[in-house]
Chain A
Amino acid sequence: MTEPPISRGFRSRKPQTEQRDRVPPGQYLTTDFPVLSAGPTPSISVDNWSFALQLGGSLLAKWNWTEFQALPQTDLKTDIHCVTKWSKLDTQWRGVSFDTLLEAAGLSEAPTEYTMLHCDGGYTTNVPVADLKDGMGMVATQYDGLPLAPSHGGPARMLVPHLYFWKSAKWVRRLRFIEKDEAGFWESLGYHIYGDPWREQRYTGD
Chain B
Amino acid sequence: MTEAQPVAGVPRRLLWSRAEVVSLRDDTPRVRSLTLAVADWPGHLAGQHVDVRLTAEDGYQAQRSYSIASPPEAPLLELTVETISDGEVSPYLTGELRPGDIFELRGPIGGYFVWSERQPGPLVLIGGGSGVVPLMAMLRHRAIAGPTQPALLVYSSRNWDEIIYRDELERLAAADPSLRIVHTLTRAQPQGWQGFRRRVDKAMLEELGVPALASPNLFICGPTPMVETAAQASVELGIDAARIKTERFGPSGG
Q: Are the C-beta atoms of A190 and B88 separated by less than 8 Å?
A: no
**Chain B count of residues within 8 A CB distance of the other chain:** 57
- Partner-binding segment picked from A9-17, A64-72, A155-163, A172-180: A9-17
- Partner-binding segment picked from A53-61, A95-103, A120-128: A120-128
**Chain A count of residues within 8 A CB distance of the other chain:** 46
**From B1, B16, B228, contact of A4 by CB (8 A):** B16
Q: Are the C-beta atoms of A7 and B244 separated by less than 8 Å?
A: no
**From B87, B92, B112, B251, contact of A10 by CB (8 A):** B92
CB-CB under 8 A from A123, the residues of chain B are 1
Q: Are the C-beta atoms of B12 and A30 separated by less than 8 Å?
A: no
With an 8 A cutoff between CB atoms, is A39 at the interface?
yes
A interface SS class: loop
- Partner-binding segment picked from A73-81, A139-147, A181-189: A181-189
- Residue of B with least CB distance to A205: B13
Question: Within B197-254, which residues are at the interface with A (CB < 8 Å)?
Answer: 224, 228, 231-232, 234-235, 241-242, 244-246, 248, 250-252
Q: Are the C-beta atoms of B4 and A189 separated by less than 8 Å?
A: yes
- Residue of B with least CB distance to A9: B96
- Residue of B with least CB distance to A39: B1
**From B4, B10, B15, contact of A185 by CB (8 A):** B4
Given contacts A26-B53, A26-B63, contact A86 B251 (CB under 8 A): yes
**From B4, B55, B111, B232, contact of A40 by CB (8 A):** B232
Q: Are the C-beta atoms of B4 and A10 separated by less than 8 Å?
A: no
CB-CB under 8 A from B3, the residues of chain A are 122
With an 8 A cutoff between CB atoms, is B61 at the interface?
yes
**From A1, A7, A151, A188, contact of B92 by CB (8 A):** A7
With an 8 A cutoff between CB atoms, is B173 at the interface?
no
- Residue of A with least CB distance to B65: A84
CB-CB under 8 A from B61, the residues of chain A are 4, 25-26
With an 8 A cutoff between CB atoms, is A204 at the interface?
yes
CB-CB under 8 A from B11, the residues of chain A are 190
CB-CB under 8 A from A13, the residues of chain B are 86-88
CB-CB under 8 A from B96, the residues of chain A are 7-10
In whole angstroms, how far apart are the Cα atoms of A39 and B119 in the complex?
18
With an 8 A cutoff between CB atoms, is A198 at the interface?
no
Question: Within A1-50, which residues are at the interface with B (CB < 8 Å)?
Answer: 1, 4-14, 25-26, 28, 30, 32-42
CB-CB under 8 A from B53, the residues of chain A are 4, 26
Given contacts A38-B245, A41-B228, A204-B14, contact A190 B102 (CB under 8 A): no
